């Protein structure tokens, strides 16, 4: 008691004669401390999350609910979306409660200073283990200000579209093969390698598109990263360091993949120095942009350049190759779309070298619709508009969000809502094509569109800046495959189910379809 009283004396700044304190005074201090403690606890509890939790009525254990979310994510998200209608609801995960917000909050939060896209992605991708996180702001700015305009330029020699098209034309037969008769083909890894090769030119340089080790390191990193993420997130955070270091083969794979890529990036840095800082490519690659201009001070920083390249590879490859693979599975399941898509491609204009341009891709409106419909049902993420709160904040409806809480929108559920889509459970490859035939809607409902019901690429200033490159790669590769092969499912076979873990959606990696060369 004397130590407590002395502390109170110093705190109050007044001299207190402790010898004159009677028992009543002491009990008064105890009472004040008790009241203060209760008030503090009440204040903390009043600032906790107060939202309904999916499965809370069936399962009392938050750990059990988190495990259910790992392996039944689409079902649980749909349950929350339909059960709580226009309310905010929570999903228990091994990283804490994640909030799912109705779209009415999008405009309020799309540029909120206390919500971080990068912090959310860093956690989702387990950056401390995989090294893959949200790209730095200046990398995103380089994509928006440098790469995307290059893709958009028409009739210009420094144009990415014919360059990427030439790579895919040249590599297609060697990756997919030539088949006189119907042949069972596993397409997953073949698509990954083709997209990885095309991206190698856009992200790094032409030289590495012909280097097998570079392609193996970068595409292998994509697979290793997402395999590691799924394994790690099945465990609570405090066990992940042990699991990663002691039990995951992906740890060694990721180390080797980064080491292998590092050699070629070092070569490119030396070559750029020999050119006195001049670009390696025309049009410049992302490596050129990230080693010049405002980023010139990073031109010789090997560690940073390796980080940028591997981050770009992971971000720019996983969604694109997964989308093409999903489209091929849908095409095999619904081969009736092939003749109309092929006719559209055959009528598309080409340059004198036989390559497509932006104008060519824009003319493929039925293909655009087919790709978008495939994405509606099998998008790479069940949720988008991912953010993490970097400070406490309160929404306009009074909902308190503590610092560290992650938020998102239930994109997969929105895309299957009959309020927004007619017959949402039915695959309709021309759904968006018909929508664009309506007067005034011609430039809407496109694969790259972003809106409150077009959330596959997010919303607001953090909407995916690489979706334009992805759009180019997907259309070019789909066009080449459809023009050169007939496709269908094996007899009695249906479209494979997706591999879904938490919010990550991946195509079946071993599913085979039948292919036959047309020429």
Q: Which residues are known binding-site members for heme? A: 464
Residues 6+ apart with CB under 8 A from 48: 400, 402
Structure token digits, residue 483: 């023009």
The angle formed by the CA atoms of residues 27, 28 and 33, to the nearest 5 degrees, is 95
DSSP for 88-125, written as a single string? -EEEEETTEEEEE--GGGHHHHTT-TTEEHHHHHHHHT
Question: Is-contact 343 363, C-beta < 8 A?
Answer: no
Structure token digits, residue 465: 């800046």
As a whole number of angstroms, the distance between CA 224 and CA 231 comes to 11
As a whole number of angstroms, the distance between CA 144 and CA 472 comes to 15
Using alpha carbons, list the distances in angstroms from residue 283 to 99, 264, 287, 350, 468: 42, 20, 11, 20, 16
CA dihedral of residues 267, 223, 329, 187 (deg, nearest 10):
60
Question: Is-contact 47 402, C-beta < 8 A?
Answer: yes
Using alpha carbons, list the distances in angstroms from residue 459 to 93, 154, 384, 396: 23, 27, 8, 19
As a whole number of angstroms, the distance between CA 117 and CA 235 comes to 23
Q: Which residues are annotated as a binding site?
A: 464
As a whole number of angstroms, the distance between CA 491 and CA 514 comes to 9
Q: Please choose, from the candidates 347, 348, 335, the residue with its C-alpha nearest in 3D space to the C-alpha of residue 495.
A: 335
As a whole number of angstroms, the distance between CA 300 and CA 269 comes to 6
- Per DSSP (E only), the strands in 130-230 are 183-186
Structure token digits, residue 9: 């004396």
Question: Is-contact 105 452, C-beta < 8 A?
Answer: no
As a whole number of angstroms, the distance between CA 92 and CA 235 comes to 13
Looking at residue 146, the DSSP 8-state letter turns out to be: I
Number of other CB atoms surrounding residue 515 within 10 Å? 22
Strand partners, 515: 183, 487
The position carrying tokens 């999916």 is 54
As a whole number of angstroms, the distance between CA 326 and CA 209 comes to 24
Sign of the alpha-carbon dihedral angle for 374, 377, 383, 384: positive
């Amino acid at each position: 008691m004397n130590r407590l009283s002395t502390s109170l004396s110093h705190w109050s700044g007044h001299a207190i004669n402790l010898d004159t304190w009677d028992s009543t005074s002491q009990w008064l201090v105890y009472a004040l401390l008790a009241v203060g403690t209760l008030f503090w606890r009440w204040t903390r509890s009043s600032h906790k999350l107060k939202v309904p939790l999916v499965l809370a009525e069936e399962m009392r254990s938050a750990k059990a609910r988190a495990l259910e979310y790992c392996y039944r994510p689409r079902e649980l998200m749909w349950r929350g979306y339909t059960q709580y209608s226009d309310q905010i609801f929570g999903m228990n995960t091994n990283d804490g409660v994640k909030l799912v917000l109705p779209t009415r909050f999008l405009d309020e939060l799309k540029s909120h200073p206390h919500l971080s896209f990068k912090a959310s992605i860093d956690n989702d991708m387990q950056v401390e283990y995989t090294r893959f996180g949200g790209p730095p702001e200046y990398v995103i700015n380089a994509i928006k200000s440098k790469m995307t305009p290059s893709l958009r330029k028409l009739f210009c020699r420094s144009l990415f579209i014919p360059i990427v098209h030439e790579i895919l034309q040249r590599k297609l037969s060697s990756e997919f093969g030539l088949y006189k008769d119907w042949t069972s083909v596993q397409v997953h890894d073949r698509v990954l390698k083709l997209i990885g090769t095309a991206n190698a030119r856009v992200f790094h340089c032409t030289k590495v598109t012909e280097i097998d080790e570079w392609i193996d390191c970068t595409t292998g990193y994509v697979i290793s990263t997402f395999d590691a993420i799924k394994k790690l997130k099945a465990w609570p955070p405090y066990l992940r360091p042990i699991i990663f270091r002691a039990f995951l083969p992906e740890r060694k794979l990721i180390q080797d993949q980064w080491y292998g890529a590092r050699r070629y990036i070092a070569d490119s840095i030396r070559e750029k120095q020999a050119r006195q800082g001049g670009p390696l490519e025309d049009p410049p690659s992302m490596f050129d942009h990230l080693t010049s201009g405002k980023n010139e001070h990073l031109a010789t920083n090997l560690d940073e350049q390796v980080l940028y390249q591997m981050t770009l590879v992971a971000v720019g490859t996983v969604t694109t190759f997964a989308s093409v693979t999903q489209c091929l599975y849908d095409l095999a399941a619904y081969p009736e779309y092939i003749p109309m898509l092929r006719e559209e491609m055959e009528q598309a204009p080409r340059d004198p070298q036989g390559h497509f341009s932006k104008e060519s891709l824009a003319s493929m409106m039925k293909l655009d619709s087919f790709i978008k419909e495939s994405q509606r049902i099998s998008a790479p993420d069940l949720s988008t508009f991912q953010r993490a709160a970097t400070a406490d904040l309160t929404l306009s409806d009074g909902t308190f969000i503590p610092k560290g809480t992650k938020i998102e929108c239930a994109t997969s559920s929105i895309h299957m809502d009959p309020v927004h889509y007619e017959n949402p459970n039915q695959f309709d490859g021309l759904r968006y094509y018909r929508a664009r035939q309506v007067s005034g809607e011609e430039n809407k409902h496109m694969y790259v569109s972003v809106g409150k019901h077009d959330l596959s690429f997010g919303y607001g200033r953090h909407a995916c800046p690489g979706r334009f490159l992805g759009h180019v790669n997907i259309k070019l590769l789909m066009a080449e495959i459809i023009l050169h092969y007939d496709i269908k499912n094996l007899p009695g076979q249906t479209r494979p189910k997706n591999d879904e873990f938490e919010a990550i959606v991946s195509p079946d990696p071993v599913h085979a379809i039948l292919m036959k060369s047309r020429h």
